[in-house]
């Protein structure tokens, strides 16, 4: 089974992801951007204010393809629980916002990005969405790069809302304005419900 953690920068995904290691010591914990050279290329692009949004989309997508082929699919094939800190929804939310704000003429950026993924990706079985307002997210993340800005994060949040609305059965919304302890407890409860209520999913 593949469970992903999604939300704005600073919403607490990594804090939760680390806490889950103690609860599920045998799970495969992974993340996007990855620590491969594809992920390094993504981080170079994040640091470049002038990076082309379409080129950046395909850097993230290349990193995802490598992540799928070398980490996610093999682990699912072996019947492991895979927990990923960010996954394809981050592209649908962030790169759709970047493309929409650019002068690149793609009429429906999110649908375009989803179409690119549908040819090869493997959707998550469940997604925990850490819901936080853009201003608090920007404050918590320290506003250190081009994504961590209130206006941009507001657009990203609207895109996450569209994703949740389109697939309510896949998403579990968690109020991330609460204390780290409360958020961790809520996510651990959601994991228990997901894993109790679902047959072990051997889809690759």
Ligand X SMILES: Nc1ncnc2c1ncn2[C@@H]1O[C@H](COP(=O)(O)OP(=O)(O)OP(=O)(O)O)[C@@H](O)[C@H]1O
Which residues are documented as binding site? 7-14
Tell me how far apart the 2 most distant CA atoms of the chain are, in Å: 47
| Residue 141 binds ligand X (CB under 6 A) | yes
Which two three-digit tokens encode residue 14?
Answer: 């990594």
Beta strands in the chain (DSSP E): 2-7, 28-31, 82-85, 126-131, 171-175
Query: What span, in angstroms and rounded, lies between the C-alpha atoms of 88 and 141?
Result: 21
Strands 126-131 and 82-85: unpaired
| Residue 32 binds ligand LXEULUCI (CB under 6 A) | yes
Identify what 15 binds: ligand X, ligand LXEULUCI, none; CB under 5 to 8 Å per kind.
ligand X
- Pattern of binders to ligand LXEULUCI over 99-138, x per CB under 6 A? ----------------------------------------
Residue corresponding to tokens 């994504």: 147
Residue from the set 3, 7, 9, 129 that interacts with ligand LXEULUCI by CB under 6 A: 9
* Residues recorded for the chain: 204
Q: Which is nearer to ligand LXEULUCI, 129 or 147 (CB)?
A: 147
Residue numbers at the binding site for ligand X (CB under 6 A): 7, 9-15, 140-141, 176, 178-180, 183
């Amino acid at each position: 089974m593949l469970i992903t953690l999604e939300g704005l920068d600073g919403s607490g995904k990594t804090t939760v992801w680390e806490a889950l290691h103690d609860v599920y010591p045998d799970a495969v914990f992974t993340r996007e951007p990855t620590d491969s050279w594809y992920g390094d290329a993504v981080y170079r692009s994040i640091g470049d204010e002038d990076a082309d949004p379409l080129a950046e989309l395909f850097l993230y997508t290349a990193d995802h393809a490598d992540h799928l082929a070398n980490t996610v699919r093999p682990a699912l094939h072996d019947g492991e629980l895979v927990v990923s800190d960010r996954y394809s929804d981050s592209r649908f939310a962030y790169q759709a916002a970047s493309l929409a704000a650019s002068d690149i003429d793609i009429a429906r950026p999110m649908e375009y990005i989803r179409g690119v993924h549908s040819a090869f990706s493997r959707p998550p079985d469940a997604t925990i969405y850490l819901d936080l307002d853009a201003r608090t997210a920007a404050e918590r993340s320290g506003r250190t790069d081009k994504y961590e800005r209130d206006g941009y994060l507001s657009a990203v949040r609207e895109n996450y809302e569209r994703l949740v609305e389109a697939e309510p059965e896949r998403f579990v919304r968690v109020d991330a304005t609460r204390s780290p302890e409360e958020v961790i407890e809520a996510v651990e409860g959601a994991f228990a419900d997901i894993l109790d209520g679902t047959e072990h999913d051997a889809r690759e």
